[in-house]
Amino acid sequence: MKIILIFLFSIIPLFAQFSGGGPGTDKSNAWQIWTKEDLIALGDSINNAGYPDFSTWHIDKHFKLMSDILEPITESIGELGFRGHFHGNGKKITLAINYEFPTNPSGALFAALSYGTIDSLIVDGYVTGDATVYYATMSTICNYISYNVGITNCINNVTVTGAGAAGITYQNMGAISNCINNGDITGVNIVGGIAGQNDGTIINCINTGKIIATNSGSNTSIVTGDTTPNNGVGGIVACVVNSSQNISNCVNLGSVVGQGFVGGIVGLANGHLMAVTPITNCINYGYVRGINGVGGILGYMFNQYVNVSNCVNVGVVEGEEDIGSIVGKDIIF
């Protein structure tokens, strides 16, 4: 009984930091986020590593943004992985994140989404990191999305710069749907309007921002040092690392500029014998320019286990070699 009482009293101060709502068992009684301080309180609870701790108390709990937060958020609100459901409620959060390792090691509102969902959120402002530091991978809503979780109905208006950079998430292993990127995204390589590296599902997404990579297309990843091509620049996705469950019904309206592996929808795509990468029903209207491996839909297809179907390119595609209206270069083996 004594242990239970200690635990109950220990969680009361945490809950009291939120402005209202609760207990968060579903959206109708979500914890209410009204202020920047509420967001910071949520982040502190995620980061707390004591035992019994709050790092897991938010699993499957619901949080609802109740008003625009115009005072800029300057660092990620949780470094250990958010495991709840964050409902943006059509409201806006302003970001002003400057990557600094190790004091501010994540360039996104959420460092990671390891379980749960984020929906109906708008983000404004900027996220920036030192492009000379290879692990300065920047995005806006969430830097890493794990399996079986997702982001839906979100809008990014944030300008992003870094070594690797993306509009919604840097690495997607889950599902992104009905999202829009309006921000200009600039990096060295692995630069995408919606996602940088993708091994999940991206459906019904739109990019309108300018997507620029200053050194895309080398055979060495800035992140892993792997000699297998796994970088690029794309209006929707920079690169598919191993395979992708689905990239479909996406539209690019922004210009996409890089060196190699440049695509209006996807820069580079790998497939796998057991998991073919489908890119379907996508349209590119944007201007696409590079040096080699430049395509209106897909810049560089690394093996035959990639299926591009029912896609249309309307934009101008320019380059020096391996240029195509749909696929720039395909390596079949």
Please check the confidence at residue 151 and state whether its pLDDT lies above 80. Answer: yes
pLDDT for position 239: 93
Is 96 exposed, middle or buried (CB count within 10 Å of its CB: 0-12, 13-18, 19+)?
middle
Task: Provide the domain limits for residue 36.
Answer: 2-330
Residue 309 CA to chain centroid, in angstroms?
24
Q: What is the pLDDT of residues 222-278, one digit of tens each?
A: 444 444 556 899 999 999 977 678 999 999 999 999 999 999 999 999 877 777 889
Q: What is the pTM of this model?
A: 0.89
What the block records as the tokens of 201 is 């599902």
Residue 294's nearest CA partner among 325, 270, 271, 269 is 325
Q: What is the CATH number of the domain that holds 317?
A: 2.160.20
d(CA 262, CA 319): 9
The answer for residues whose C-beta is within 8 angstroms of residue 319's C-beta and 6 or more apart is: 262, 289, 290, 291, 292, 293, 294, 328
State the total domains in the chain.
Answer: 1
pLDDT for position 221: 43
